[in-house]
Amino acid sequence: MSHKIQIAPDGPIFEARPDETILQAARRNGQILPYECGWGSCGTCKVGLVEGSVDLIFQDAPAVSPRDARRGRVLACQSRPTSDIIITPPPGHWEGLPLPCQECTGELIAVEELAPEIRRFTFRVEGGAEFLPGQYAILHLPGGIRRSYSMCNLPCGDTLQFIAKRYDGGAGSNALADLAVGTCITIEAPFGVCTLRKKAGRKVFVAGGTGISPILSMIRQAAEEAVDFNAPVDVIYGARSAVDLAAGNELAAAAARVRHARYTPVVEMPPEGWGYQQGFVTNAITALINAPTEAEFYVAGPPVMVNSVKAQLKEAGVPITQVHYDSFG
């Protein structure tokens, strides 16, 4: 049976369908709270359970600690109401969502090799594909595997494009890489709040590896809409080697169309004659955060890289409200 969810103390009340999680019900009803992974590893969607009961889907979710259990905190993405409930989300995080999440069928229509083991996958989505640049989708892959991937294209037409790398032993990445053109899968989208803020001011975009996907989408948006931030815009893209800078030429071309923007590729193992920065993206950021900290940072890439950048920015005194990020393995 359905159950009511109330946001304490005076927030909206909405209904959760049978077998629907708190997060799914919130999204369907046009409500949003922070979330990223959708399966229990990040802890971003953690809420307080004030009243009522829930069924915990993933009992041993990495993001839930014994202290959370003692304090009645649960993951919205892993909790199904078994009664009417009242919850308390993090202060200030609930707001109307202009693009509610939808479940649709996507047909794989093209696969493009961008770099060794890195490909761009294009899906045609029935009914159109609405999202905001910087958002991501959850792909339902063969074998019951669900994985999150950020879109790299602009939200126009009926296609979703994702840049993804195949990893040895990676169940999700291999399931995606093995899809044949013409295969149809279920796609849930859009998710995520790491989207472009168009207000004037300095911006720093940091992409690592396939984290180029959401960064490319946002830079394309800024170029297409002729957004003028009236301040310097730094676009940093890091990879292990130059050949791993998948779609780097596309990111550079998009950045060239944004006023005041500068594109900086960074590689750990540069080829002979490399005329750009060597090392990690954190090296390229150092000079930028020695300046005043009014800049907004957009960070996407492997969890290790994202966590390193977040720690670096925190140590430099950059407020967390000025850091927007996505981290998928």
The CATH number of the domain holding residue 298 is 3.40.50.80
Sequence-ordered alpha helix ranges (H) in the chain: 22-28, 66-70, 171-177, 212-224, 248-255, 281-289, 303-315
pTM of the model: 0.81
* 147 occurs within a structural domain: yes
The CATH number of the domain holding residue 177 is 2.40.30.10
> Confidence band (pLDDT; 50, 70, 90) for 328?
low
**Distance (Å, whole) CA 262 – CA 235:** 6
CA dist list (Å): 41 to 37, 61, 99, 281: 7, 6, 24, 24
> Confidence band (pLDDT; 50, 70, 90) for 11?
confident
* 198 occurs within a structural domain: no
- For residues 214 and 293, state if they share a domain: yes
* 297 occurs within a structural domain: yes
Name which of 9-23, 79-93, 137-151 the model is least confident about: 79-93
Mean per-residue pLDDT, 3-14: 89
Closest CA to 32 of 248, 193, 224: 193
Q: What is the CA radius of gyration of the chain?
A: 20
* 197 occurs within a structural domain: no
185-217 pLDDT, tens digit per residue, is: 999 888 877 899 998 999 999 999 999 999 999
* Residues spanned by the domain of 232: 203-327
- For residues 312 and 210, state if they share a domain: yes
- For residues 310 and 222, state if they share a domain: yes
- For residues 222 and 236, state if they share a domain: yes
* 63 occurs within a structural domain: yes
Beta strand 46-51 pairing with 118-125: unpaired
More confident residue, 9 or 8: 8
278-323 pLDDT, tens digit per residue, is: 999 998 998 777 665 689 999 999 989 999 999 999 999 888 889 9
Extract the tokens encoding 132.
Answer: 């905001």
- For residues 216 and 314, state if they share a domain: yes
> Confidence band (pLDDT; 50, 70, 90) for 59?
confident
- For residues 185 and 262, state if they share a domain: no
* 166 occurs within a structural domain: yes
Domain end call among 43, 62, 96: 96
> Confidence band (pLDDT; 50, 70, 90) for 327?
low
Q: Look at residue 288 in the predicted model and tell me its pLDDT.
A: 79
**Distance (Å, whole) CA 77 – CA 246:** 32
- For residues 106 and 36, state if they share a domain: no
Q: Is the pLDDT of residue 32 over 70?
A: no
* 75 occurs within a structural domain: yes
Q: Look at residue 92 in the predicted model and tell me its pLDDT.
A: 45
> Confidence band (pLDDT; 50, 70, 90) for 132?
very high
Domain count, the chain: 3
Mean per-residue pLDDT, 31-51: 79
- For residues 259 and 185, state if they share a domain: no
* 45 occurs within a structural domain: yes
- For residues 69 and 184, state if they share a domain: no
**Distance (Å, whole) CA 321 – CA 300:** 16
Q: Look at residue 138 in the predicted model and tell me its pLDDT.
A: 87
**With pLDDT > 70 as the criterion, what percentage of the chain qualifies?**
93
